[in-house]
Amino acid sequence: MAKKIKLSINGIFVEVEHGTTILDAARQIGILIPTLCYHKDLCIAGNCRVCMVEVAGQKRLAAACATPCEEEMEIYTNSLNVLHSRKQIIELLLSEHNADCTSCFKNGNCELQKLSSDYKILKQDFIRLVPLQNYTIDKLSPSIIKDDSKCIRCQRCVRTCEELQGVNALTVAYKGDQMKITTFFEKPIHSVVCSTCGQCINHCPTGALVERNYIEKVWDAISDKTKHVIVQTAPAVRVGLGEELGFEPGKRVTGKMVAALKRLGFDAVMDTDFTADLTIMEEGTELLMRLKAALVDHDPEVKLPMATSCSPGWIKYIEHMYPEYLGHLSTCKSPQQMFGALAKTYYAKARNLDPETIVSVSIMPCTAKKFEANRPEMHDSGFRDVDYVLTTRELAIMIKQAGLDFLKMEDAHFDRLMGESTGAAVIFGATGGVMEAALRTAYELVTGRDVPFENLNITPVRGMEGIKEASLKIENPLEQWAFLDGVELKCAVAHGLVNAKKVMDSIRTGESNYHFIEIMACPGGCLGGGGQPIPTSPEIRRKRAEAIYAEDTGMTLRKSHQNPEVIKIYKDFLESPGGEKSHHLLHTHYTARERF
Amino acid sequence: MTESYQLKRADFIFKNENDWEEVMSKSFSRTPQELINELISSELKGRGGAGFPTGLKWKLTAEVVGDTKYVICNADEGEPGTFKDREILSMVPFKVLTSMAVCGYVIGAKEGYIYLRGEYFFLLPELNKAISEFEYYCKEINVDFTIRIFMGSGAYICGEETALFESMEGKRGEPRNKPPFPSDFGYLGKPTVINNVETLAHTYTIFKYGAKRFYDLGVQYSRGSKLFSVSGDTPKPGIYELELGMSLYDFVDEFGDGDTKAVQVGGASGFLVPRKRFQETAIGYQGKLVGISLPTGGSMMLFNSSRSMYNVLDNYLEFFREESCGQCTPCRVGCQQLLKGIKAVKRGEKKTQYLDKLLRLTDTMKLTAKCGLGQSVANSFSSIVENFREEMIY
Ligand SMILES: Cc1cc2nc3c(=O)[nH]c(=O)nc-3n(C[C@H](O)[C@H](O)[C@H](O)COP(=O)(O)O)c2cc1C
Ligand code: SF4
Ligand code: SF4
Ligand code: SF4
Ligand code: SF4
Ligand code: FES
């Protein structure tokens, strides 16, 4: 039925599907039209007006991002009219912009900067409108800095927070020249419902939203001879970092990353993947305990489904939005915080270090992890468990600052004790990964056999579908798990908080009866985290996910309980999953928060 | 040469509405197609701003397939100094209600809304009374149509049809991208006819007397009569129903104070016409004729020689800077630049040639702004700056 539409762009004929925008049609034939408010992940806003093109026979120019192609349209993307207008619009944006690029965190990766560089606005004779009357610079959050003087009002952040995250922490307020992006009652962002996920940062074209960076602090620590500075790297970092340093999306740079961290001067380079495996042991045990309490003891207090707790953005979200469901969260800390608590206890003891001298740094794809490390309860080692959290982007900056030629870096290996990991840990970086890792271990624990999926690949929980469901029937369990015989374990996986909301609402209304749900705050899981390289898009996230699963397939050990260092830590230190020491160091509690 | 008539008063709009039940049942006895043809042959154009042919608007919406459609009466009347829609709603509300129901019949809508300017809350009791009487009658004659009132938020931009839908949907009043147009994707994404209060009142006249009575008034491309809000330096400010196509010269002759130096036709988003062009300017919709000025909402503001055109422009720009929704670059930043720019020229901080840069800026705004507000800033700006350049400088 859908007939193709024929049109011409700059004299080149092209055929497109019904509903294709001029922007996409042009891209199909290699014509790039500049954009600012447009983002692949978001609905069309059409407010920046830099994508204007001329349509023959029309009085006004058309916004290419927002205008669907029509039969026989004759479009010009570079006519004099278009060029003049486009230049003037960029000029207008700059006149309203605190364009102090040399002291801006986004210097070098800013869409506005790139546009002004492409269009060479050399003479800016509009009147400078900065400093604006109505702006604030909010530096109070441990995760996010919001600087209105760098904002071009494209509303990408607002759409991100609403469409991808369903949080609506950011809104547009006022009109005319006073119009700005703000929060509920213009409160600082750390005091509102914001999950600190950082997706708005990832989608902001300018320096108006950036992470709070701790690069200087980490350099200070490294150069302090009295400190022993250790670093952990999250699973998703190794499939993203390359993008900041000259590789195409989807490149795995694990070995280079480790080598670079060593060259930066960290005293030990270890792996969050180790505690990801540990998380599986703890969380898997917790799940089985809950199932037992429900099925055998008929304990009315037991909370099912159990929800994963390794995404601190998700944790903050549920604390604000569904506080009555906090009991459903696994009490396990995130792998980052497990690592932090062990670094200043287990590691300190094994290496004979005074924990006071240890500075624990983590490299995360995430800005919520900055908030998490800052939570008052994260001091179970007797010290602040994780001192500094850097995003993937901040690490890339340090690597550039240190003058390391990343492309030429030889691979290196993680240091021992907390540096060993399995394929199950790596896939924590992708949506569905925690679920898959947990099932691999729990199923084997209960039945003594591998999960019934080819090559251990639990494909129903993989992929970019917003909500994925899977069920796994337990047959012929080992004797101690006999009560699970015939039980159909029902699972759901959601990524992006807007999908988390759907899952939570289905639990609230009783529509669903899951046993176990995995929720990641960010689209695609951590690989699409708010601390990952910019830009992001469905395509880029897909490539990062492929890299993650390739990393898993390439590992000899692919089940968390096989990790020799995990076996060792239970033997030497923790005793057993869910044991007393685990409880003290690896588990936590949650706080209900206000909903504004 | 401009075709124009001498100033002629008309009296349709406020003429009694006691026959509304008759107009209603007569219209419902005709086919939707007949009613559309009637409207099309009357050549009625929208009285709310853009002057879109009303018959065509109804026809397009009628042709869209859909179970749910809406009729919306735009009573946001935000243009400073105009209150014609208020007068219509307080004096002849049944004309508007009747036309809404007929429109519903024509396009296949069962629900109508009146988007009422926030400041007009005092109309509510009377209007609600009229609506219940009207709905009662609808039931009696088996017409399934309800009308509800939605109170506006007070922002000028919410009068723009798509911003109005957004506002009714509980969102921020920001204009949408077009296409899609309301006939396909209006309130709640459903096919919607949105008409100005006065437009609806004229359709009543047309359904009552037939297209010809209406068509016979006015000139080519500008048929019928229109309400004008006359204000400024005039001994007789007020609302007048006049036949379209009159020359501005005759208008000033009738309403001026003898010393009129310019008339702003169509309010802030309209054009300023200087005295030397009164003769050649006819008041109507832009057609093939030269010198016809768009009346938009029907505001006619007269200025005598004591007025500073710089101040007039300054006021308009102040208005736009504040009332722009702020979403799109050319309008949000453009309005600020224009306002700051004329001030800088006046103070000698910018050379007089800077006015030319500002004129080019208004061209860009006209070409690129997302909605009619930003697109029409150029109208008053260029017509004032071009005609009264000295006043901008000295
Ligand atoms: C900034 C702006 C404000 C507007 N305000 C009004 C208004 O107050 N009342 C109105 O009827 N139309 C207003 N319009 C025009 C509407 O968008 C729309 O064209 C009109 O309601 C259509 O009705 P009509 O065809 O009967 O004129 C406005 C348009 C713009 C761009
Ligand atoms: S946001 Fe971009 S253009 Fe603005 S100062 Fe920063 S780098 Fe420069
Ligand atoms: S960090 Fe996440 S939740 Fe907070 S404002 Fe940004 S997108 Fe919304
Ligand atoms: S903060 Fe960034 S994303 Fe949000 S409107 Fe401003 S420039 Fe756009
Ligand atoms: S032109 Fe002005 S009022 Fe219209 S959408 Fe743009 S900023 Fe808003
Ligand atoms: S990219 Fe099209 S209007 Fe912003």
Mind listing the pLDDT tens digit for each residue in A218-250? 999 999 999 999 999 999 999 999 999 999 999
Last residue of a domain, one of B270, B285, B304: B304
**Same domain membership, residue B369 and residue B313:** yes
CB pairs under 8 A between A and B: 113
SS3 of residue A107 by DSSP: coil
What does the block give as tokens for B254? 């009738």
When mean pLDDT is compared across A572-576, B184-188, B209-213, B245-249, the lowest value belongs to B245-249
Q: B109 with B237, same domain?
A: no
Closest partner residue to B333 (CB to CB) among A92, A172, A175 is A92
Cβ-contact A70, A7 below 8 angstroms = yes
Q: How far is CA A419 from CA A232, A327, A339, A422, in A?
A: 8, 32, 10, 10
The residue whose two tokens read 């016409």 is: B273
Q: Are residues B258 and B364 in the same domain?
A: no
User: In this structure, are B287 and B363 located in the same domain?
Assistant: no
Instruction: Judge if B233 and B195 occupy the same domain.
Output: no
Domains and CATH numbers, chain A: 5-93 (3.10.20.740), 98-211 (3.30.70.20), 227-274+336-408 (3.40.50.1780), 279-332+422-529+549-586 (3.40.950.10)
For B17-44, what is the mean pLDDT? 97
CA atoms of A63 and A51, how far apart (whole Å): 6
Q: What is the pLDDT of residue B361?
A: 98
The pLDDT of B167-174, averaged and rounded, is 96
Structure confidence by residue, pLDDT tens digits, B307-350: 999 999 999 999 999 999 999 999 999 999 999 999 999 999 99
**Measured distance CA(B383)–CA(B303) in Å, rounded:** 14
Residues B54 and B16 in one domain: yes
A176·B360 Cβ contact <8 A: no
With H, G, I as helix, E, B as strand and everything else as coil, classify residue A410.
Answer: coil
CATH number of the domain within which B44 lies: 3.40.50.11540
- Name the residue with tokens 């599907």: A17
- Give the 3-state secondary structure percentages of chain B, helix then strand then coil, rounded to 5: 50, 15, 35
Q: What is the predicted pLDDT for the residue at B287?
A: 54
Which of A222, A252, A495, A241 lies closest to A364 in space, CA to CA? A241
Q: Which pLDDT belongs to residue A94?
A: 97
* Sign of CA pseudo-dihedral B164, B170, B171, B172: positive
CB contact set of A229 (below 8 Å; sequence gap of 6+) = A218, A221, A222, A265, A266, A267, A358, A359, A361
Residue B295 has pLDDT above 80, yes or no: no
Residue A20: what pLDDT? 97
Q: Over range B237-253, report the average pLDDT.
A: 94
Interface ipTM: 0.94
Q: Give residue A308's region: left, alpha or beta (phi > 0; psi -120 to 50).
A: beta
- Do both B131 and B98 map to the same domain? yes
- For residue B315, give the CATH number of its domain: 1.20.1440.230
Active-site residue, selected from the candidate residues A150, A256, A369, A468: A369
Nearest residue (CA) to ligand 1, atom 10: B48
A153: left (phi over 0), alpha (psi -120 to 50) or beta: left
Residues with CB under 6 A from ligand 4: A 151-157, 181, 204-206, 208-209
Q: Indicate yes or no: CB of B335 within 8 angstroms of CB of A153.
A: no
> Rounded CA gap, B312 and B304, in Å?
12
Q: Rounded mean pLDDT of B20-38?
A: 97
- Average pLDDT (B268-280) is 92
Residue B241: give its domain's CATH number.
3.10.20.600
Hey, is A578 helix, strand or coil? coil
Cβ neighbours, 10 Å, residue A139: 14
Contact A179 B177 (CB under 8 A): no
Q: How many CB atoms lie within 10 A of CB A206?
A: 24
What CA–CA distances, in Å, run from A594 to A163, A316, A364, A587? 21, 11, 27, 24
Shortest CA distance to A215 belongs to which of A98, A361, A348, A101?
A361
Instruction: Please give the single-letter amino acid code of residue A434.
Output: V
Q: Is A37 marked active-site? A: no
CB count in 10 Å sphere of residue A487: 18
pLDDT tens-place string over residues B110-142 = 999 999 999 999 999 999 999 999 999 999 999
Q: Are residues B38 and B100 in the same domain?
A: yes
Nearest CB to B337; choose among A45, A81, A92: A92
Residue A367 makes CB contacts below 8 A (sequence gap 6+) with A143, A144, A196, A197, A198, A201, A211, A391, A529, A530, A531
Domain co-membership, B211 together with B224: no
Chain A residue at shortest CA distance from B371: A47
B367 shares a domain with B239? no
- Cα distances (angstroms) measured from residue A451 to each of A454, A474, B196: 8, 10, 67
Put simply, the answer to whether A67 touches B333 (Cβ < 8 Å) is no
Q: Which of A372, A444, A551, A565 is catalytic?
A: A372
H-run or E-run covering A469: strand A467-473
B216-225 pLDDT tens trace: 999 888 999 9
Chain B: nearest CA to A49, how far in angstroms? Answer: 7
Q: Nearest CA to B106 among B52, B147, B70, B142?
A: B70
CA distance A219 to B372: 54
- Chain A interface includes B353 (CB < 8 A): no
Question: Taking an 8 Å Cβ-Cβ cutoff, which residues of chain A contact chain B?
Answer: 44-50, 52, 60-61, 63, 66-68, 81, 84-85, 88-89, 92-93, 95-96, 125-127, 129, 152-153, 155, 171-172, 174-179
Instruction: Give CA separation, A504 vs A305, A324, A325, A425, in Å.
Output: 10, 11, 9, 26
DSSP of A110-173, one letter per residue?
-HHHHHHHHHT-----SPP-PSPSS--EE--SSSEEEEGGG-----HHHHIIIIIT-----EEE
Residue type, A491: C
Residue B1 has pLDDT above 50, yes or no: no
Give the per-residue pLDDT at B289: 45
Last residue of a domain, one of B215, B237, B264: B215
Is B66 in the same domain as B103?
A: yes
Q: Which of A35, A47, A159 is nearest to B330 (CA)?
A: A47
Peptide bond before A376: cis, by omega within 30 degrees of 0?
Answer: no
Q: Check CB contact under 8 Å for B332 and A88.
A: no
- Mean pLDDT, rounded, of chain A: 97
d(C-alpha A174, C-alpha A176), whole Å? 7
Place of tokens 């046993």: A515
Which two structure tokens, joined as six digits, stand for A435? Answer: 């679920």
Please state, as a whole number, how many other Cβ atoms lie within 10 Å of the Cβ of residue A351.
Answer: 14
Opening angle at CA A150, ends A145 and A152, nearest 5: 120
CB A9 within 8 A of CB A31: yes
Q: Return the pLDDT at A27.
A: 97
* Short-list B115, B202, B183, CA closest to B154: B115
Q: A45–B327: do the CB atoms touch at under 8 Å? A: yes
User: From CA B254, how far away is CA B237, in angstroms rounded?
Assistant: 11
Query: Cα separation of B101 and B71, whole Å?
Result: 8
Give the pair of three-digit tokens for residue A338: 């497990």
For the Cβ of B373 lying below 6 angstroms from any atom of ligand 5, the answer is: yes
Q: Which residues, 6+ apart, have CB-to-CB distance to B358 below 8 Å?
A: B337, B338, B341, B342, B381, B385
Q: From CA A167, how far away is CA A498, in angstroms rounded?
A: 8
Q: Are residues B189 and B275 in the same domain?
A: no
Counting the structural domains of chain B, the total is: 3
B31 touches chain A (CB under 8 A): no
Q: Among this protein's residues, is A310 annotated catalytic?
A: yes
Angle between helices A433-447 and A272-295 (to 10 degrees): 60
| C-beta separation of B105 from B28 below 8 A | yes
Domain that holds residue B329: 309-393
Q: Is the CB of B327 under 6 A from ligand 5?
A: yes
Specify the pLDDT at position B288. Answer: 47
* Residue ending a domain, choose from B215, B249, B279: B215
CB A241 within 8 A of CB A235: no
| Residue segments in chain A with a per-residue pLDDT below the cut of 70 | 1-2
A385: closest CA among A569, A587, A167? Answer: A587
What pLDDT is attached to residue A544?
Answer: 98
CA–CA min distance A179, chain B (Å):
6
